[in-house]
Amino acid sequence: MRDKTPRHAHTHWKRSSRIDPIKILRASDAGRIPELVPIRYGRMLQSPFAFYRGSAGLMAADLAATPTNGRYVQACGDCHLMNFGGFATPERNLIFDINDFDETLPAPWEWDVKRLAVSFVLAARENGLSDAKARGLAVTCVGSYRKHIAEFDVMDPLSSWYARITAEDFLTGMPKAMEKDVRATIDKAMNRTADADFPRLTDMVGGRLGIRDSPPLIYHPAEASIPEFQAFLKKFFADYRETIPDDRRALLDQYRVVDAAIKVVGIGSVGRRCWVVLMMSATNAPLFLQVKEAVRSVLEPFAGKSGYANHGQRVVIGQRLMQPASDLLLGWTTGTQGRHFYVRQLRDAKIKPLVETMDAERFDIYAERCGWALARAHSKAAETSGISGYLGNGDEFDEAIGTFSLKYADQMEKDHAALTAAVRRGKIAVFRED
């Protein structure tokens, strides 16, 4: 494999002349809610890192032309540092892992590694760190991936399947002051439940409990006021109910659907149909579910078609294959006009990284943890000896990806400038939330 694809070959980056970044971005607007698309571009304009987060399809096209050693894994598909974080397992234990799988698909392992490494360079630049330090973060992340993939490779399959990064694992080796801050964040997250979201997201309208409108980010579309919509919701949830295990159905059946509204979510998903659904128990305990539209993975044109007819199912199965534990109510369903959706709890002790507060030391620790988590995810349901053996014990691959990451980060800055120019020329409409 090294003869066919030398590890130093991964330093290479040159975009194909056939790729037009703005054209690819506009093509990805198809099927989105038109009035929400300007919000997407308004967010992407904020910085090259924000642009990067919203352009997974563009990078997929770019990565397809880069070298690989031929080994596939269940890939995340949108593997940047903001798509990692802490969350509670069904047993109420906090773990650290990947938490976004909208683009998941079997694909070359290098694609996730490269997208994650580049995200550290762009985020570090945004925080004012030098390119030398930014490159060092990418090398740290990839080195962690290499070392941990070797450890998982010699585990028996059951041990690899059970492996997880606990809160204590995440905290190990941190400076005391940093550990104190992270523990405070963990304690706060573990106390964040649907009850905490209830007063913030709901209101009484016309004597009826419902989700509070906060346009353009949370709103009830016109069809929500039509009587037939409630009948559709019941059918929608009945179909979803069939995709979760029997014991979870018994839990879900103790709640009834009260209201549903569109909720704008992360940069890459802005404009996709994402609903927040309020459910209530007989004792008036709330449960919020997120129902998110799933479309074809950005990897499909380059890695092959999904084996699942419903893209919501593709996301759910991919998530279960990569995470050590997944949301209690994770399932999928089909909506109007044959649209595909997956369902999960809106929040469940989730912790997102506060990248804007990270200095070089915090970035370095986070990069190591993300590389570890990605190695665990790739190892859970794939034969990784061909990856581990290829990477070896030295840092040649790590250094190669460090160099690639700087080159590709430069490309993203050029693409961000191209988007800015297109907006100035009136070619793309934007909505600035601030």
Q: Which amino acid belongs to residue 274?
A: C
* Helices within 174-310 (DSSP H only): 176-190, 194-201, 227-241, 246-252, 300-303
By the 8 A CB rule, do 261 and 276 touch?
A: yes
Q: Which H or E run includes 259?
A: strand 255-263
Mode of pairing for the β-strands spanning 218-219 and 208-211: unpaired
Mind listing the pLDDT tens digit of every residue in the chain (434 residues)? 999 999 999 999 999 999 999 999 999 999 999 999 999 999 999 999 999 999 999 999 999 999 999 999 999 999 999 999 998 888 888 899 999 999 999 999 999 999 999 999 999 999 999 999 999 999 999 999 999 999 999 999 999 999 999 999 999 988 898 889 888 888 887 776 666 778 888 998 778 899 999 999 999 988 777 777 777 888 889 999 999 999 999 999 999 999 999 999 989 999 999 999 999 999 999 999 999 999 999 999 999 999 999 999 999 999 999 999 999 999 999 988 899 999 999 876 678 888 998 999 999 999 999 999 999 999 998 899 999 999 999 999 999 999 999 999 999 999 999 999 999 999 999 998 87
Q: Are 276 and 211 in contact (CB under 8 A)?
A: yes
Note whether 134 and 406 are within 8 A (CB): yes
382-418 burial, b if ≥16 CB within 10 A, otherwise e?
Answer: bebebbbebbeeeebbbbbbbbbbbebbebbbebbee
3-class state of residue 95 by DSSP: strand
Burial 12-21 (b: 16+ CB within 10 A, else e): ebebeeeeeb
Please tell me the number of Cα atoms within 13 Å of 329 on its side-chain side.
21
Q: Which candidate, 156, 323, 341, places its Cα nearest to that of 236?
A: 341
Of 156, 181, 161, 158, nearest in space to 171 by CA: 181
Residue whose C-alpha is closest to residue 318's, from 99, 73, 101, 78: 101
Structure tokens at 320: 């279960």
Q: How far apart are CA 391 and CA 389, in angstroms?
A: 5
Q: Give dist(CA 208, CA 220) in Å, integer.
A: 14
Residue spans per domain, the chain: 7-191+352-424, 194-345
